[in-house]
Amino acid sequence: MLAGKTALITGSTSGIGLGIAEQLAKNGANIVLNGMGDAVEIETTRARLEAAYPVKVRFHGADMSQPEAIEAMFQSVDAEFGGVDILVNNAGIQYVAPVDEFPTPKWDAILAINLTSAFHTTRLALPHMKKQQWGRIIQVASAHALVASPFKSAYVAAKHGIAGLTKTVALEVAELGITVNAVCPGYVWTPLVEKQIPETAQARGITEAEVIQNVLLTAQPTKKFVTVEQVAALASFLASEVAASITGAVIPIDGGWTAH
């Protein structure tokens, strides 16, 4: 379905990003992984995907907080594949604290990685997409692109910014065969969510078990975590030809959270 296409997925060495990378590889796209982690584990993942599917799988360790590193990654992809056909902006970090206690460096890092990196990847991907009159840009946003939660000022601000960026770019390229959409998962059991549980417990003065039941899953009427596979399936659909008329959409996949 995506044979001959090249997909770059930021933050794809684990969690949602890796799930999306695997689904796109299964559908025939060459894959460029990006992210942090143990070098041996990353190479094992890269080799596993390349062995499992008839596609090329590469890795680039660009620091998504650094515009120069992002540009270097695109130069590498352009040299080997000719450009990025499918861009998935998934890289993200989180920190939880009251706004008046929020460390300034944490605010800057979250905005840089969760929002500004998507601006840089988008601006670098679009020339190739415009030239070929086809492209898919998929933002992995969050239910927090649509609603807020206490103690997550930087994350919520960044994800609301992603929603605005999605809509703006979609309008700019609507006649060029390029779609731009955001998927907005609720709580997915990933390393990012697992890490924020003790932080949220400390911020709220409750136990970690209470965070899971009374803070995380209480927001989702299904009372279940969204799965990586479900998010990956939605992203894969948006990358397909049958989704060509879906653009500028900010799509919840949140167990009913934002239906409240």
Residue 193 — pLDDT band, cuts 50, 70, 90?
confident
CATH number at residue 168: 3.40.50.720
Residue 241 maps to a domain: yes
Residue 217 maps to a domain: no
Residue 81 maps to a domain: yes
pLDDT value at 191 more than 80 = no
173 vs 1: which has the higher pLDDT? 173
Residue 133 maps to a domain: yes
**Domain total for the chain?**
1
Residue 52 — pLDDT band, cuts 50, 70, 90?
very high
203 vs 221: which has the higher pLDDT? 221
Residue 11 maps to a domain: yes
Q: How much is the mean pLDDT over the chain?
A: 96
Range 228-231 contact pairs with CB under 8 angstroms and sequence separation of 24 or more: 228/15, 228/16, 228/18, 228/19, 228/188, 228/189, 228/190, 229/19, 229/23, 231/16, 231/19, 231/20, 231/140, 231/183, 231/185, 231/188
258: its two tokens: 């934002």
Count the Cβ atoms, other than its own, within 10 Å of residue 1: 13
Task: State the average pLDDT over residues 231-255.
Answer: 98
Residue 233 maps to a domain: yes
pLDDT per position as a tens digit, 100-141: 999 999 999 999 999 999 999 999 999 999 999 999 999 999
pLDDT value at 50 more than 80 = yes
Among 3-7, 50-54, 216-220, the least confident range: 216-220
Whole-number pLDDT of residue 179: 99
Please give the backbone phi and psi of residue 27, each rounded to the nearest 5 degrees, phi first: -90, 5
Task: State the average pLDDT over residues 214-235.
Answer: 93
Domain range for 119 is: 6-186+226-259
Residue 19 — pLDDT band, cuts 50, 70, 90?
very high
As a whole number of angstroms, the distance between CA 121 and CA 70 comes to 7
138 touches 91 (CB < 8 A): no
Whole-number pLDDT of residue 131: 98
Residue 194 — pLDDT band, cuts 50, 70, 90?
confident
> Which SS3 state, helix, strand or coil, does residue 256 take?
coil
pLDDT over 70, % of the chain:
100
Whole-number pLDDT of residue 220: 93
pLDDT value at 6 more than 80 = yes
Residue 111 maps to a domain: yes
Whole-number pLDDT of residue 203: 84
Task: State the average pLDDT over residues 201-208.
Answer: 92
Q: Which amino acid is at 239?
A: A
Whole-number pLDDT of residue 240: 97
> Which SS3 state, helix, strand or coil, does residue 37 take?
coil
pLDDT per position as a tens digit, 149-163: 999 999 999 999 999
Residue 39 maps to a domain: yes
Among residues 53, 95, 155, 187, which one is catalytic?
155
50 touches 77 (CB < 8 A): no
Whole-number pLDDT of residue 124: 98
Given CA atoms 39, 40, 43, 49 in this order, what sign does their dihedral have?
negative
Burial class (CB in 10 A: 0-12, 13-18, 19+), 56: middle
Whole-number pLDDT of residue 26: 98
Element (H, E) at 67: helix 67-81
232: its two tokens: 């990956």
Look-up of token digits 């008046």? 100
pLDDT per position as a tens digit, 74-93: 999 999 999 999 999 999 99
Active site residue 187: no
